[in-house]
Every structure is written in structure tokens, then in C-alpha cells.
Amino acid sequence: MSREGKSYSEEYASYLERYEFFAEDQPKLSPEGFERLDDELLDLLALDAEGQELTEDQEERYLELMYLLVAEE
């Protein structure tokens, strides 16, 4: 998908759409920053899917990542 003449992943393009509608005063992530945080979120989701209980710190980070990625639950 192209935006301003640049090619982005489908996930990043979706993030940009959510960002336009829902992000208030948070900075926009670069494609690289988005991928890094998205990978971290996926790692936490994988732990949860394996039945491993997240620590309090991991739960806090999960919520922070959801906010930064303007993710839908």
C-alpha cells in the first residue's frame, strides 16, 4: 500500500488509518518503530496464548503497547 509515495506493510498502513482517527496527542511511529513494538506485542500475546500468565510488568507493557500501536482489542 502506498502513502505519500512510500510503500508500507499492510499492518503499518492499518496503523496509520487508526492513528488518523483515534490517536490524540501521541507521536506517530515510524515504520521501523511500529514493527519493533508490534513484534514485542506479538511476543506477549504468544506467551498468553501458550497459557503462561503474564507478570504485572508484562501486563503494563501490553497496555502501553496497545496504546502506542493504537491497537484494537
More confident residue, 4 or 55: 55
Q: What is the pTM of this model?
A: 0.83
Q: Is the dihedral of CA 26, 27, 30, 33 positive or negative?
A: negative
Kindly state the average pLDDT of the residues 48-65.
96
Stated as kind and residue range, the H or E segment containing 72 is none
pLDDT at 1 over 50: no
Q: Domain map of the chain by residue range? A: 2-68
Q: How many other C-beta atoms are found inside a 10 Å radius of the C-beta of residue 18?
A: 13
Question: Residue 24: what pLDDT?
Answer: 82
Using DSSP's 3-state secondary structure scheme, residue 6 falls into strand
Please state whether 2 falls in left (phi above 0), alpha (psi between -120 and 50) or beta.
Answer: beta
